[in-house]
Amino acid sequence: MAVQKNKISMKNISKTFTTRTGDVSVLKDVSINVFENEFLVILGPGQCGKTVLMNILAGLEQPTGGEVVFADGTPKMGDLGIVFQKYYIYPWKNVMQNVELSQEVKGVDKKTRRESAQKYIDLVGLSGFEKSIPRELSGGMKQRVGIARAYATESDIMIMDEPFGALDAQTRYQMQEEILKIWEKKKRTVIFVTSNLEEAIYLGDRIILLGGSPTSVKAEYIPDMPRPRNYTSKEFLDLRNEIADNTDLAL
Ligand SMILES: Nc1ncnc2c1ncn2[C@@H]1O[C@H](COP(=O)(O)OP(=O)(O)OP(=O)(O)O)[C@@H](O)[C@H]1O
Ligand SMILES: [Mg+2]
């Protein structure tokens, strides 16, 4: 394998919340390296601290211990492409306005940001829906808006926190294929969070398995299978069993 350039290092990240009922330690010594242009999957059970970790990575929350180091320097607020777990799109803005927002907040002029937004609307397959507002769109389409907006930041780092969690199974499979196609067309460093084991194996160049209480890194897996991967192939099922055996919580 070619030498991989390190893009992000999460070093011994710990997070403890102080609540009315006492301290809650959510993350402990989480260390993860992310390589340039890889599709990294972070797999962990519900409530284990995945979103907290992504918020720390994105600079939206401070760790109690440890640090995040970006090889190209710490990005400024709004510089990272983030797809949130909940559809984080403005209901009163149409598709075009939602996507161009990434650049609008940076003061990019209207013509430039429209052109850029159009490029990503086309990329995620929403051409023709530019003027639609979110309530006129299906769940899958709303999530595409979120993906297009994250891409439109032009960040080379994309954080996707369970982007397909709210979708029905059929749409979810379709979106998994789509997101790989988009990534292959436009390589970026992707950190994709999921609690779905099959989704992790279908997508990941590498899978980091989280577990324990407080949560830390349990294991790393490299699915050695060409894409598109087949959910029912022997290699797929073998890896599924191997990971399932290593986790005590239902995934
Ligand atoms: N601000 C906060 N104060 C106290 N506890 C918090 C806070 N934010 C998160 N937590 C706790 O941290 C834990 C992890 O939350 P988090 O949302 O990161 O889990 P998750 O792995 O993303 O779950 P899910 O799979 O449901 O998205 C939860 O127990 C949650 O209650
Ligand atoms: Mg979460």
Q: Options 3.40.50.1110, 2.40.10.10, 3.30.60.50, 3.40.50.300; which CATH number does 1-79+185-251 get?
A: 3.40.50.300
Q: Phi first, then psi: what are they for 150, rounded to 5°?
A: -65, -40
Reported pTM? 0.94
b/e map 196-224, b = 16+ CB within 10 Å: bbbbbbbbbbbbbbbbeebbbbbeebebe
- Tell me if 186 sits within 8 A of 151, measured CB to CB: yes
Residue 137 confidence (pLDDT)? 94
Ordered per-residue pLDDT tens for the chain, 251 residues: 567 899 999 999 999 999 999 999 999 999 999 999 999 999 999 999 999 999 999 999 999 999 999 999 999 877 899 998 876 789 999 999 999 998 998 899 999 999 999 999 998 889 999 999 999 999 889 989 999 999 899 899 999 999 988 888 888 898 899 899 989 988 899 999 999 999 999 999 999 999 999 999 999 999 999 999 999 999 999 999 999 999 865 55
- From the list 32, 79, 24, the residue with the least C-alpha distance to 53 is 32
Alpha carbon of 48 to ligand 1 centroid (Å): 7
Q: Which residues contact 224 (CB under 8 A, 6 or more apart)?
A: 235
Q: Phi first, then psi: what are they for 24, rounded to 5°?
A: -120, 115
Which residue's CA is the closest to the ligand 1 atom numbered 7? Answer: 17
Which residue's CA is the closest to the ligand 1 atom numbered 18? Answer: 49
- Tell me if 68 sits within 8 A of 145, measured CB to CB: no
- Tell me if 204 sits within 8 A of 36, measured CB to CB: no
Q: Where are the domains of the chain?
A: 1-79+185-251, 81-154
52 CA: nearest ligand 1 atom: 18
Q: Phi first, then psi: what are they for 218, rounded to 5°?
A: -95, -40
Residue 249 confidence (pLDDT)? 57
Residue 2 confidence (pLDDT)? 63
Alpha carbon of 53 to ligand 1 centroid (Å): 9
55 CA: nearest ligand 1 atom: 18
- From the list 199, 203, 179, 194, the residue with the least C-alpha distance to 124 is 179
**What is the best residue among 14, 18, 23, 26 to mutate for testing ligand 1's pocket, by most ligand atoms within 8 Å of CB?**
26
Residue 201 confidence (pLDDT)? 98
Alpha carbon of 190 to ligand 1 centroid (Å): 22
The rounded distance, in Å, linking the Cα atoms of 240 and 224 is 13
The rounded distance, in Å, linking the Cα atoms of 187 and 104 is 24
- Tell me if 98 sits within 8 A of 130, measured CB to CB: no
85 CA: nearest ligand 1 atom: 27
Which residue's CA is the closest to the ligand 1 atom numbered 6? Answer: 17
The CB of 57 under 6 Å from ligand 1? The reply is: no
What torsion, rounded to 10 degrees, do the Cα atoms 26, 72, 186, 145 define? 50
Q: Phi first, then psi: what are they for 131, rounded to 5°?
A: -95, 0
The rounded distance, in Å, linking the Cα atoms of 69 and 31 is 11
